[in-house]
Amino acid sequence: MKAQYSIISFLLSALFITSISPTQAQEQHPNFIKKTIKKLFSSETDSSRGNSFIVLPAVGYAQETGLEYGVASTYNFYMDKADLNSRTSNITLIGTLTTKQQKNIKLLTDIWTKNNDYHILSELRYRDWPFNFYGIGNDTWKADEDFLEQKLVRAKIDVERRLAPNFYAGANVNFEYFKFEDREAGGVFDHPSVLGKTGGQYVALGISSLYDSRNSTTYTTKGIYARLKYAYAPDFWGGEHFTGSQTEADLRLFHAVSAKVTLAGQLLYRGTYGKNTPFYVYRDLGGDMSMRGYYLGRYKDKNYAAFQAEARYRFMPRFGIVGFAGTGSTFSPSHDLRLAPSYGAGIRYFFSLEHSSTIRFDYAFGEKRPGEQRQSGFYLSISEAF
């Protein structure tokens, strides 16, 4: 059964948002709470180029997980405050637990060093969490939903060096470990086309290039972001462990129509190549970043392509609204491309005017397949989708 999360998470987040700088945290003023609330809605910018920190509590409930509770937090800062061209770096920590002993912990970093000479991305993740499997391809059905237990360990790092204005190149390493358990045998997960049913592990070594002329890495209003990435996983373990290649191409364009209105677009491709490829390295459609409105993994295959566009209206320094639409599909030699729609709208709250950092509230719709309800989803996230 698909998880149905409680609206409580939204309400608590709205009530308990905290955004402070290290200096403010040390103030012992009796009106500190009043001043903090005032700051949340203030249009005044921080000329000190200070850091910002925010915590979102999360509470939800689903039949398969029980009560879920935890936090999502992010810390934004400059590596060189004196350099007005220094880009915003951030560290994001997300952690939730459930009353049924499930865990989801993720630490992400996006670092720009002094003079923006190096760009460093990293992720550490541990996930002991169930998910719904619908089969392989873009023609799966909700009636075939198969509930799986999953354990995931991920450690990855990308390091890119600036070689020319706005141009970077570098190397990356990614390790992933998976373990699965099917609660009820005889479902779509037992199909012979699904390889790697018990899980596996692999290390992928790769290279990347990046052209980035964005005026901001958090809320972009003009510029181009174009990234190409390739990685190869050698045959270290044999068996059904993944051996093969992975590629990714990510192109984003931003244009400011006016001081308050921005048009943004993204074209995304992800591919997996190799013989006897296990399903756990297949590409997923859906989630909170692209093809919003679909359960992440509702459609799963070796390749994934998507396009999305947004119209962003920042009508106040602290608030904005967004309308978005897109289309995408998973595909492979066995399953033809079948474009599905994605559309919706959302609200933005800028918790840091200095860094233009946002909290994102989106509601999105997907397709309606015959005999099924229209697919849809609500998303509460830190930072923009792209």
Which residues fall within 8 angstroms of residue 59, CB to CB, at 6 or more apart? 6, 8, 9, 12, 67, 68, 69
Q: Would you say 140 and 285 are in contact if contact means Cβ atoms under 8 Å apart?
A: no
The domain made up of 78-86+104-382 is a member of CATH 2.40.160.50: yes
| CA neighbor of 161 nearest in space, from 207, 97, 221, 223 | 207
Q: What is the pLDDT of residue 197?
A: 95
pTM higher than 0.95, yes or no?
Answer: no
* CA distance linking residue 280 with residue 290, whole number of Å: 19
Q: What is the pLDDT of residue 208?
A: 98
Cα of first residue to Cα of last residue in the chain, in angstroms, is 30
Which residues in the chain show pLDDT less than 70? 1-30, 32, 35-37, 39-40, 45-47, 63-64
> Which tokens sit at 67?
């009560």
Look at residue 94 in the predicted model and tell me its pLDDT. 93
Q: Would you call 58 helix, strand, or coil by DSSP? A: strand
Token pair 């398969």 in the structure block, residue? 64
- Contacts of 149-153 with CB under 8 Å at 24 or more apart are 149/180, 149/181, 149/182, 149/183, 150/178, 150/179, 150/180, 151/127, 151/177, 151/178, 151/179, 151/180, 151/199, 152/125, 152/126, 152/127, 152/128, 152/176, 152/177, 152/178, 153/125, 153/126, 153/127, 153/177
Question: Are the beta carbons of 289 and 384 closer than 8 angstroms?
Answer: no
pLDDT tens digits, 159-217: 999 999 999 999 999 999 999 999 888 899 999 999 999 999 999 999 999 999 999 99
